[in-house]
Amino acid sequence: MSDLLTELTHGAREDAQARRAVTPLAAVEDAAAAADAPLDALAALAPADRVKIIAEVKRASPSRGDLADIPDPAHLASLYASGGASAISVLTEGRRFKGSLDDLSAVKQTVPVPVLRKDFVSDPYQVFEARAAGADMVLLIVAALDQGQLRELHGLVTDLGMTSLVEAHTAEELDRALELDAKLIGINARNLKTFDLDRDLFGTLSSTIPAGVVKVAESAVAGPDDVAHYREAGADVVLIGEALVTSDPVSTLHRFLAV
């Protein structure tokens, strides 16, 4: 892993361990078991005659710094849902993205669509707390995990009734995602080792993803042309954050969905 990805993953794990010192694993497991059943994310994101969008609640990023204040993430998420988003992504990493599990819980209580926990997940505790907070999906970044960890976490996500969004950036990472028989695979145009962008990467890699897998294009979306580019390359879903939090989200979603 790169220094930045190592930093993000290690920091998220440290923060999870601090929460675990306050709320033991057994208590979080009980809360996960008591939570309402997760929504079927694969059904919500299934291929259709138009592109689908996962709209992201995103305050900041390491590459761009502060993006938006977002004092009420649930309100923003409700705008996303009303604007046609098929799912909501909530960044819960606190150090560099300024998110939290409280954001996810608030969003989940407000919107009728599936909710993704987007974080640097490397510990089963984080999966249980995602479910306890109401998550329907959990992001698993192939580059941040060895294959044993990836298999363990994907299995746990599945056992808890959620869906893994397994994210790859290279052909080798995509092979590892496919080895899991993952049904929701994201290709991230952003290289998490350098944070550089390559909008054409999705088209390069997605042709090897078999039928029956929902294909998600992530990052490098500034306008409708970018969404159209991904759609033409075979994307079923596009995950969008920055372009939505820095604009009027409903009108922007309408423009993106019209491609």
Active site residues: 56, 58, 118, 167, 188, 218-219
Instruction: Count the helix, strand and coil residues of the chain and give each as a percent rounded to the nearest 5.
Output: 45, 20, 40
Structure tokens that stand for 142 in this block = 């192939």
Rounded distance between C-alpha atoms, residue 20 and residue 129, angstroms: 10
Closest by Cα among 148, 172, 146, 152 to 164 = 152
Q: Which pairs count as long-range contacts for 173-182, CB under 8 Å and 24+ apart, including other chains? A: 173/142, 173/143, 174/142, 174/205, 174/208, 174/209, 176/142, 176/147, 176/150, 177/142, 178/208, 178/209, 178/210, 178/213, 179/147, 180/150, 180/151, 180/154, 182/154, 182/213
Rounded distance between C-alpha atoms, residue 235 and residue 187, angstroms: 9
Rounded distance between C-alpha atoms, residue 92 and residue 95, angstroms: 9
